[in-house]
Structure 1
């Protein structure tokens, strides 16, 4: 149930949750990391083309999970949103340590990570004037290292100050229950404010059900990747969770992370989520549930009663 005063914070301002529309709940228009050399998403022209293709496929809302220091290009997002008509949500947060230089992490420790997150959620990202609408952090492979615990502790503090949802990159889909133990049991973030990403990459249906039972949102994202258990296992996961009564906890996303994966560069890109993944899921679980996963659920997951 979405609170009456809740809003989704987009790059053009706060909107009623229903205005998010058909939503890709986890994707990237821009992304830059030393872990992806030569595959940077850094072209405004390509981003505009990808958004146009996504909109032509029926997409309306898009949540960019690109966090601090990874080439968000927040200042370019409003113009892209206006030109495309898409509702774009930007992120604050911090990824795994491997994506940053030691100097960057030292400076963030000195400056206060939670304060940075709160500032980007309430005042804006740098001097762009764009406010973030979620906090993105990351776990490790089957565990949480000191960096993950630091970033998640800061994310929890920022959540308590703002109400913003905490979206979590699960490394190869693992560590979901460890994340919930930390964020929810130890740091008192309500499970309904936690979004667990990449669960389709680790298709353990028991873990999926345990996470859903806890009350978290489960993001099934990053389809079409040959080295992950994605498209062909997703119908089974969705059907099992829906049959158990957790259809209202499920989100869908494309998670485009490389230039080669964009549709404008010959890959599946953002349109693939609506062009192929959605219809395939509808055959397994019905169009009504797929519509819920693309509209009703993201509207609830990203809606916040923002302070002030």
Structure 2
């Protein structure tokens, strides 16, 4: 997991790689990947449940590593407590590759006034964090995280996604999308791909486990996007207990190579060190359950080869 040094701009610009907090690595170096999770997260919607404890984050990563996990993709975007300065040390200490995010969440996750302060320069902010580093001195982000709304896209979503598309075209970075309760997947693809020219293989649609609509799942897969099923331990979501069947349907339809899995730990109570499922749940409980549904080889591909392709890109120098 050595940090890249001494590379010329031309070398960096032509090599397909995953951008981790320790530098760019080839996709096949990721190993078993939690494709959507949070080590640090702070939302105005979740007061008192902040993920802010560095020691707890270290413990989660070590537990994940102990089960064979080798990469965690943190989808925490700008302004929500990413604690980017701790990510390099955590990655080195635990042996887990970490991919950080730039981007912007739904407006109501932020304190009043926080979003308005950056909207005018949003695309430039994303590009800077992807190419120069988070906050100017932190590690570089490896993807852009944005968010849709419930069954639609409001003005905020359209503005942030337009900025994400602009930053993607300038850098090559993949775009990861929070789908509110798993909805509006096709609206997102219409906006990013049809209106803004982002190739669908550079789009990751998150939270599809929260909307058990197999027709939409297959439409999104047919378009060419990556489909992320994340947060599997949340029993209040209708898709949780249907997840094996949902994945089996997509595998049978020929879309096994477009599926991703993640844990999406968003509160302190959900950490394994606090008695919740945490990051280990993905490998300790969900993996064997899915192996019964689609086979161990397919699950291994979903956890390794698929995130390697979803996250690797030919990075362009800005």
Q: Under TM normalisation by the shorter chain, which class is it?
A: over 0.9
Is 2:248 the counterpart of 1:271? no
Q: Which residue of 1 aligns with 2:128?
A: 119
Q: Which residue of 2 aligns with 1:304?
A: 313
Q: Post-superposition shift, 1:231?
A: 3.1
TM-score (structure 1 length as normaliser): 0.97
Is 2:210 the counterpart of 1:201? yes
Is 2:144 the counterpart of 1:105? no
Q: Post-superposition shift, 1:274?
A: 0.4
Q: Which residue of 2 aligns with 1:49?
A: 59
Q: Post-superposition shift, 1:103?
A: 1.9
Is 2:292 the counterpart of 1:283? yes
Match of 1:87 among 82, 97, 100: 97
How well do the aligned residues superpose, as a CA RMSD in angstroms?
Answer: 1.2
Is 2:69 the counterpart of 1:39? no
TM-score (structure 2 length as normaliser): 0.94
Q: Say whether the 8 Å CA contact 2:247–2:294 is kept in structure 1.
A: yes
Is 2:62 the counterpart of 1:62? no
SS at match of 1:252: strand
Q: Which residue of 2 aligns with 1:19?
A: 29
Encode CA deviations 1:20-79: one digit per residue, 9 max, x unaligned: 110000000000011011110000010001111111111000000000000000000000
Measure, in 1, the Cα distance between the counterparts of 2:75 and 2:205. 12
Moved over 4 A (4+): none
Is 2:227 the counterpart of 1:221? no
SS at match of 1:107: coil
Measure, in 2, the Cα distance between the counterparts of 1:89 and 1:36. 24
Q: Post-superposition shift, 1:237?
A: 0.7
Q: Post-superposition shift, 1:133?
A: 0.2
Is 2:193 the counterpart of 1:184? yes
Gaps of 5+ in 2: 1-13
